[in-house]
Amino acid sequence: MELFPDERQKEVKMSEHLTLKEIQEKIKQLHQKEAEIIAREKAAVIEDLKEKVRELDIQPDEIFGKSGTSSGGARKPKMIRYKRSEDEVWAGRGKKPEWCADMSKEELEKYKLETPIPLR
């Protein structure tokens, strides 16, 4: 059962007489109104969240986790596996640095460390 059957009929009759351009303009106005309502509601929610964060002294990592880690655990340090000098090191992963780019596996083996060391 409709509460206002006459109003519904007026809407249908009115929309039957609108041109395409008028309908497009109404749609544009409705989209603008929608954007205003969303922005207003979003701002209110953000303000409420900020207030709760301050009130409870919540830290970002409590919400989003610690940055730079996966699944909240400590990140493994990058390990140096090849070293020719203090400035010429390579972890053995990814693109080879210039100092060893043209070396064969056999040539590179002489710079391989027996025990990898953490990169500082």
Tens digit of each residue's pLDDT (9 = 90 or more) over 57-116? 888 888 887 765 555 566 777 889 999 988 899 998 889 999 999 999 899 999 999 888
> Domain map of the chain by residue range?
5-56, 79-118
> What pLDDT score does 22 carry?
92
- Look up residue 91 and give its amino acid: A
In this predicted structure, the answer to whether residue 4 has a pLDDT above a threshold of 90 is no
Alpha helices for the chain (secondary structure H) = 5-16, 20-56, 60-64, 105-109
Name residue 80's beta-bridge partners. Answer: 117
Average pLDDT, the chain: 84
Q: How many Cα atoms sit within 13 Å of 112 on the Cβ side? A: 11
pLDDT bracket for residue 8 (50, 70, 90): low
pTM here? 0.39
**Rounded Cα–Cα distance for residues 65 and 79 (Å):** 24
CB 113 within 8 A of CB 83: yes
